[in-house]
Amino acid sequence: MLLSMKLTDISPAIALTPLDGRYHKQTAPLVEYMSEPALNRERMRVEVEWMILLANGFEGNGNQTIVPGVKPLTDDEQAYLRSIPENFGAEGIAQHAAYEAKTHHDVKAVEYYIDDQLEKAADVLGHDTQLTGLKTLVHFACTSEDINNLSIARCVKNGVEQVWLPAAQAIVDHLAQKADAYRDKAMLSLTHGQPATPTTLGKELAVYVYRLNRQLNKVKAQEYLGKINGATGTFGAHLAACPDVDWVAVSREFVTNRMGLTWNPLTTQIESHDWQAELYGTISHTNRILHNLCVDVWMYISRGVFAQVPVKGATGSSTMPHKVNPIRFENAEANLEISCSLLDTLSATLVESRWQRDLTDSTVLRNVGVPLAHTLIAFHSTIKGLNKLLLNEPAIYRDLDQMWNVVAEGIQTILRREGYPHPYETLKALTRTNTVINADSIREFIDTLDVSESVKEELRKITPHSYTGF
């Protein structure tokens, strides 16, 4: 009996999904912000900044120490604390994982990891440093969700602003450039799949620029909320330990000025995640607009409006050598659909919690990077597809030349202006005869009209190539 090789025995480990396999290059930028190590690094940032605030105070409290018995941290001590997350690399990831394996709690593992780094502080700062004795200040009065909600908000904010938005903006900028370049390129419109009043390719692309920009502006203006108020949002532990402290002011200061987020003053144990539902709804909407673009471009390719630059050596069909398939846009469509389904699930799930806390949000939040990664793949495919398009002007002109009946709207509207009797019905009788309508038949029709010569001349100027509005 032959023993087959187990793929699970291969090292390094084989990726289960294409996000970390086939499409790793496209999704890799999100690792810096949306991966588990990125989240743990952000948790460390929250923990050490909280320690610094508790020790050194803030302008609103006269820069006085908040927790009794703690001396203000020196500049070197603050720098050392801040170096803990910044130096969190492969060795640190392994160390954190070892703690999590024992505790079965990722935030507690972060606390123990920081404790270890405090033990080493004397080696760097000298034995006079108070950091070695400040383990009790780590995670002071905090519940895990105080750390998690802030960390996740910062991860999502940075991932969206540093990776997602630039990639989306690149598509919009490309479309805007093409819209300007094709602003005068007349083309046949199709409404209900039937020939309609001509338009310009530039105007049609400009529609997408406008639609996408509206959504990107919403994303750019998005609030990212955070809270730090204890196990049930009451500051219970804070007040028990330090009843004379204005913990509401401390919380506002920390979330707003230290974390760079919008302060949520009223929560249960968890931040309510409404901002996430809003953001993911907007991104999902953006995806659907881009999906619409990809479908339209796909159909333009099918009609011959666009030709595609063949990639040297690439296979279109395994059996039909002539084919250059619009695979970039098809790939984008599929990834956008996956992204939307996940984003819609996130939006629906995150805004609900049983009373003051359950763990449904915790499980779901670990997957925020997945739908964003699928959008990155879609963005990459879309921009590659757009860059391979060539305008097929002969095909566009041929479409227009074969559809002179589309000028009927303009002719009948001028006749309405002139008070001509039954203009719509007159043009209907002309164009619905199942006979070919061309330049000659339109000219002959105009010649028969009981209108002035100047109006006839005005009508003769209307062609499928010129009847494009602004």
Residue 192 a catalytic site member: yes
For the segment 34-87, what is each residue's pLDDT rounded down to a tens digit?
Answer: 999 999 999 999 999 999 999 999 999 999 999 999 999 999 999 999 999 999
- Pick the catalytic residue: 104, 127, 192, 322? 192
- Whether the pLDDT of residue 320 is over 80: the answer is no
Contact in structure between 376 and 29 (CB atoms under 8 Å): yes
As separate numbers, helices (DSSP H) first and strands (DSSP E) second, the chain gives: 21, 6
For the segment 239-282, what is each residue's pLDDT rounded down to a tens digit?
Answer: 999 999 999 999 999 999 999 999 999 999 999 999 999 999 99
Query: Who has greater pLDDT, 376 or 360?
Result: 376
Contact in structure between 99 and 29 (CB atoms under 8 Å): no
- Pick the catalytic residue: 83, 317, 341, 466? 317
Question: pLDDT confidence of 372, banded at 50, 70, 90?
Answer: very high
Q: Within this chain, do residues 187 and 301 fall inside the same structural domain, yes or no?
A: yes
Secondary element (H or E) of residue 92: helix 90-103
For the segment 200-213, what is each residue's pLDDT rounded down to a tens digit?
Answer: 999 999 999 999 99
Expressed as residue numbers, the domain containing 409 is 403-460
- The reported pLDDT for the residue numbered 268 is 94
- Whether the pLDDT of residue 4 is over 80: the answer is no
C-alpha to C-alpha distance for 37 and 256, rounded to whole angstroms: 24
Q: Within this chain, do residues 182 and 279 fall inside the same structural domain, yes or no?
A: yes
- The reported pLDDT for the residue numbered 322 is 56
Identify whether 467 is part of a domain: no
Question: pLDDT confidence of 303, banded at 50, 70, 90?
Answer: very high
Q: Within this chain, do residues 186 and 219 fall inside the same structural domain, yes or no?
A: yes
Q: Within this chain, do residues 106 and 209 fall inside the same structural domain, yes or no?
A: no
- Whether the pLDDT of residue 436 is over 90: the answer is no
For the segment 82-91, what is each residue's pLDDT rounded down to a tens digit?
Answer: 999 999 999 9
Q: Which amino acid is at 41?
A: R
Return phi, psi of residue 389, to 5°: -90, 140
The last residue of a domain, from among 392, 424, 450: 392
Beta bridge partners of 186: 200
Question: pLDDT confidence of 321, banded at 50, 70, 90?
Answer: low
- The reported pLDDT for the residue numbered 318 is 47
- Whether the pLDDT of residue 156 is over 80: the answer is yes
Q: Within this chain, do residues 63 and 206 fall inside the same structural domain, yes or no?
A: no
Identify whether 5 is part of a domain: no
pLDDT over 70, % of the chain: 97
Task: Supply the Cα-derived Rg of the chain in whole angstroms.
Answer: 31
The last residue of a domain, from among 392, 415, 441: 392
Q: In the numeric block, which tokens belong to residue 249? A: 């002011």
Q: Within this chain, do residues 126 and 159 fall inside the same structural domain, yes or no?
A: no
**Count of the separate structural domains present in the chain:** 3
Question: pLDDT confidence of 362, banded at 50, 70, 90?
Answer: confident
Identify whether 272 is part of a domain: yes
Q: Within this chain, do residues 351 and 384 fall inside the same structural domain, yes or no?
A: yes
Identify whether 414 is part of a domain: yes
Q: Calculate the average pLDDT of the chain.
A: 94
Question: pLDDT confidence of 323, banded at 50, 70, 90?
Answer: low
pLDDT, mean of residues 295-307:
95
Instruction: Look at the chain and count its residues.
Output: 470
